[in-house]
Amino acid sequence: MVLIEQLLSKTQVEEFRSSLNQVPWNDGKETAMGMASGVKQNGQTDASDKQVQALANKLLGIFGSTPKLISAALPHRIFPPCFNRYSSGETYGFHVDAAIMRMPHNNEVLRSDMSMTTFLSEADEYDGGELIIQTEFGEQKVKLNAGDAVLYPSSSLHKVTPVTAGERVAAITWMQSLVPNIHMRQTLYELDQSIQGLLQNPSIQRDELDRLHHVYHNLIRQSSQV
């Protein structure tokens, strides 16, 4: 599970929220599949709406220019972001995201390796509404500030607790990684973050960094699927 602070600036959050106030919203159950439909109670934007598609494309552009996200997910395909909101009494019970998703407007499919929630409401704008993710270390509770995001394995059982006051707005998406093995992906992320940290140290010799880059990229070559 990786937290990405300030994926969106406060100005960008305001722009997204303002635009989302002007688009059509549907019952979230309409997009739920299988058992998830029985536990999903929220609203979701109409993915066929041109303004919603423009917002999704804008967010995709931001994803592609966020080094920490690229490092953690090594994305091969990214599902166009969806926007959801939870008003008082709404919730999404424990569920697991579909393993295979059909990309909109074409016949390609995406294997969901990583899921991501980008929070568009400030944490103090609503009560409840925590994202609960089951991990090998127990349940992790996530409630971040507007503009922050959390990236986690799509294989995890997760839920959104009932919102008891206010409104929770977020963007959600799924990614197929170039490296499907979760343990290798985590190792590569930690290695890359170490390299990025060493780059800030002026006393580190260039040949040391070259050796680490050599190891990093060769590990990707050995473990990636394209």
168 is in an annotated binding site: yes
Sign of CA dihedral 119, 72, 131, 176: positive
158 is in an annotated binding site: yes
Structure tokens at 48: 């066929």
Structure tokens at 26: 């549907």
97 is in an annotated binding site: yes
Decide if 185 contacts 177 (C-beta within 8 A).
Answer: yes
Sign of CA dihedral 100, 105, 106, 107: positive
214 is in an annotated binding site: no
Burial class (CB in 10 A: 0-12, 13-18, 19+), 131: buried
Single out the residue of 64, 150, 77 nearest to residue 115, CA to CA: 150
Decide if 96 contacts 134 (C-beta within 8 A).
Answer: no
- What helix, strand, coil percent values describe the chain, rounded to 5? 35, 30, 30
Q: What residues are designated binding site? A: 95, 97, 158, 168
Q: What residues are designated binding site for Fe cation? A: 95, 97, 158
Q: What residues are designated binding site for 2-oxoglutarate? A: 168
